[in-house]
């Protein structure tokens, strides 16, 4: 079956590569106009290529090769269509730091740890699951530890306007690609260590959203990491742990039922309005929201103050719902990414404000993260964070167990504020807002009681008890002094 599909696909591409034009390669009559917008958008998402060895899979006529080789130390560009390879050689073959070769990616082989970055654009959808699994494992081997894989695919939808007489395919959902890629493992024979891919970011290609109303062009940036350090609760990655345990779609929606439409964090709209007022936002400013949840705070900031907001969250379930809401709200100033804030990168001075609500409790090296925040902010930029904190040790056994089960890394509010100061921020305010936290939880418990019948009808009694019992336990932890809630405000001079 797969051999027949591959033969049909090969014949199709022979017929659609005779002139080796960008229109043929993209199967789109508007390819040149799209490229002008899309190419810089994608290049901006790549890690630094300076001094790096790059493998480009599915290079085509060299649309990206020409740009990759200007920065990278060396580029190996691979495509299986002879006419495309010849065109790429014609355009880029004179560069001494480039090798352009014709090959079938399912049969490629390279030495272990050969490359720093692997780049692929519209290739993986032509591979069946077994081929993709095999290639992913081999790519893990070809990359050095810490290296990056960037790929872009059409998810459940073709990209161009060319009518195809074959099904390429293997159109997959965004979640299916994420699962396939992060489930792969590679054992380094020399180091006797197992590696896998962690997601750095996943996002829609905005050029296709804007120019073609195509929401199905998705890109990923993954990093090769030691798998032993990236597992929790039996799941391959921390992201899988979040999406399958704490933030299932059902779990998110039941939080929203209590917190308010668009919110999954303490106080919902009331604390959001209070805290955002501290930022003195102005129209046109750029805000980065770390741990955006399902976007309620982002929509509020964009609607009320006319700011542009980029929301990042590691939970794919959260971002899926946020994007659904953004589409329904018709909010062009708000964008979302599945992203790991500890690995995502932005140019220095990108944002006016960095905002985060009850998220950084998951992150171990908070000082390193705050240094990244400092770099991403413009001079005069502002940082505002609310987060779970803790009281002085020793903690009760119950609190120790709770923290361990959730994988939280907690500090007292003063300790937390010190990390922000050490990152370079000035005018740091570290407020212990536990009293406010207790008041909010009590109010939300009352709200839950008032809507009990309606809540159970929409979800279940089990879901209701999980919410109520969870908050009751939270109150108890606060009353013993173990759990605290901090609000932190600082500026970059």
pLDDT of residue 159: 60
Q: In this structure, are residues 255 and 264 in contact, taking their beta carbons and an 8 Å threshold?
A: yes
pLDDT of residue 453: 96
When pLDDT is cut at 50, 70 and 90, the band that residue 315 belongs to is very high
| Range 442-447 contact pairs with CB under 8 angstroms and sequence separation of 24 or more | 442/475, 444/258, 444/259, 444/471, 445/471, 445/472, 445/475, 447/258
d(CA 447, CA 468): 10
Q: How far is residue 478 from each of residues 381, 391, 398, measured CA to CA in Å?
A: 32, 9, 12
pLDDT beyond 90 at 59: yes
Helix (H, G, I), strand (E, B) or coil at 384: strand
Q: Which position has the higher pLDDT, 353 or 328?
A: 353
Residue 347 domain boundaries? 239-491
Query: Domain end: 208, 229, 250, which one?
Result: 229
- Tell me whether residue 234 is in a domain: no
- Tell me whether residue 461 is in a domain: yes
Whether residue 432 sits in one domain with residue 369: yes
- Tell me whether residue 23 is in a domain: yes
pLDDT beyond 90 at 102: yes
pLDDT of residue 230: 44
Residue ranges of the alpha helices (H) in 184-315? 206-212, 238-241, 249-259, 268-276, 296-305
- Tell me whether residue 24 is in a domain: yes
Mean pLDDT of 407-422: 97
- Tell me whether residue 347 is in a domain: yes
Tokens of 444: 């939300």
Portion of the chain with pLDDT greater than 90, in percent: 77
Tokens of 253: 């929606």
Whether residue 248 sits in one domain with residue 222: no
d(CA 349, CA 453): 49
Identify the helix (H) or strand (E) that includes residue 266. Answer: none
pLDDT beyond 60 at 360: yes
When pLDDT is cut at 50, 70 and 90, the band that residue 242 belongs to is confident
Condensed to tens digits (0 to 9), the pLDDT of residues 447-478 reads 999 999 999 999 999 999 999 999 999 999 99
Whether residue 299 sits in one domain with residue 364: yes
CA angle 198, 171, 209 (to 5 degrees): 80
pLDDT of residue 158: 59
Query: Domain end: 188, 210, 229, which one?
Result: 229
When pLDDT is cut at 50, 70 and 90, the band that residue 285 belongs to is very high
Whether residue 393 sits in one domain with residue 249: yes
Tokens of 357: 């609500």
Whether residue 244 sits in one domain with residue 220: no
Rounded (10°) CA dihedral 303, 306, 308, 311: -30
When pLDDT is cut at 50, 70 and 90, the band that residue 4 belongs to is low
Identify the helix (H) or strand (E) that includes residue 44. Answer: none
Q: What is the mean pLDDT of the chain?
A: 91
Whether residue 13 sits in one domain with residue 157: yes
Tokens of 397: 């056994």
- Tell me whether residue 411 is in a domain: yes
Mean pLDDT of 183-193: 82
CATH number where 257 lies: 3.40.50.150
Query: Domain end: 229, 257, 284, which one?
Result: 229
Angle between the 268-276 and 296-305 helix axes, to the nearest 10 degrees?
A: 50
Condensed to tens digits (0 to 9), the pLDDT of residues 118-173 reads 999 999 988 989 999 999 999 999 999 999 999 999 997 656 655 544 555 567 99
Whether residue 143 sits in one domain with residue 93: yes
When pLDDT is cut at 50, 70 and 90, the band that residue 87 belongs to is very high
d(CA 273, CA 277): 6
Identify the helix (H) or strand (E) that includes residue 479. Answer: helix 461-479
- Tell me whether residue 307 is in a domain: yes
Strand partners, 251: none
Structural domains of the chain, count: 2
Whether residue 335 sits in one domain with residue 372: yes
Whether residue 134 sits in one domain with residue 251: no
Whether residue 122 sits in one domain with residue 264: no
Whether residue 258 sits in one domain with residue 136: no
d(CA 222, CA 372): 19
Whether residue 154 sits in one domain with residue 72: yes
DSSP state letters, 2-16? HHHHHHHHHHHHHHT
d(CA 286, CA 218): 23
């Amino acid at each position: 079956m797969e051999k027949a599909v591959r033969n049909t696909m090969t014949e199709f591409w022979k017929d659609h590569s005779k002139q080796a034009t960008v229109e043929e390669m993209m199967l789109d009559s508007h390819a040149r106009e799209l490229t002008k917008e899309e190419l810089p958008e994608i290049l901006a998402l790549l890690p630094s290529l300076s001094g790096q060895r790059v493998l480009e899979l599915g290079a085509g006529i060299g649309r990206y090769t020409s740009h990759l080789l200007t920065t990278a130390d060396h580029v190996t560009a691979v495509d299986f269509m002879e006419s495309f390879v010849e065109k790429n050689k014609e355009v880029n073959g004179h560069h001494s730091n480039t090798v352009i070769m014709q090959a079938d990616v399912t049969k490629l082989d390279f030495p272990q740890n050969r490359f720093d970055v692997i780049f692929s654009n519209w290739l993986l959808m032509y591979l069946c699951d077994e081929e993709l699994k095999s290639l992913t494992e081999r790519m893990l081997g070809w990359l050095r530890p810490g290296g990056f894989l960037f790929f872009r695919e059409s998810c459940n939808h073709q990209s161009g306007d060319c009518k195809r007489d074959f099904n390429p395919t293997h159109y997959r959902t965004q979640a299916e690609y994420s699962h396939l890629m992060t489930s792969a493992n590679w054992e380094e024979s020399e180091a006797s260590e197992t590696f896998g891919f962690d997601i750095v970011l996943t996002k829609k290609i905005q050029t296709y959203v804007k120019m073609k109303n195509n929401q199905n062009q998705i890109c990923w940036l993954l990093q090769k990491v030691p798998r032993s350090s990236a597992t929790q609760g039996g799941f391959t990655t921390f992201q899988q742990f979040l999406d399958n345990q704490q933030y299932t779609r059902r779990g998110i929606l039941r939080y929203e039922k209590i917190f308010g439409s668009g919110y999954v964090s303490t106080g919902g709209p009331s604390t959001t309005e209070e805290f955002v007022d501290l930022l003195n936002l102005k129209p046109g400013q750029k805000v980065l929201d770390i741990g955006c949840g399902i976007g309620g705070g982002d929509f509020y900031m964009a609607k009320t103050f006319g700011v542009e907001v980029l929301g990042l969250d590691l939970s794919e379930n959260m971002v899926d719902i946020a994007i659904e809401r953004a589409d329904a709200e018709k909010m062009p100033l708000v964008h979302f990414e599945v992203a790991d804030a500890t690995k995502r990168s932005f140019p220095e001075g990108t944002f006016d404000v960095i905002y985060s609500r009850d998220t950084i409790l998951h992150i171990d090296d908070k000082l390193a993260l705050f240094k990244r925040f400092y770099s991403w902010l413009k001079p005069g930029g502002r940082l505002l964070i609310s987060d779970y904190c803790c009281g002085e040790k020793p903690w009760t056994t119950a609190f120790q167990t709770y923290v361990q089960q959730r994988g939280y890394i907690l500090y007292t509010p003063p300790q937390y504020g010190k990390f922000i100061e050490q990152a370079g921020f000035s005018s740091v305010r570290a407020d212990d807002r536990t009293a406010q936290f207790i008041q909010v939880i009590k109010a939300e418990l009352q709200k839950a009681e008032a809507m009990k019948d309606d809540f159970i009808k929409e979800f279940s009694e089990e879901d209701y008890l999980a919410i109520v019992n969870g908050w009751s336990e939270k109150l108890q932890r606060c009353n013993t002094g173990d759990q605290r809630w901090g609000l932190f405000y600082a500026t970059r001079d």
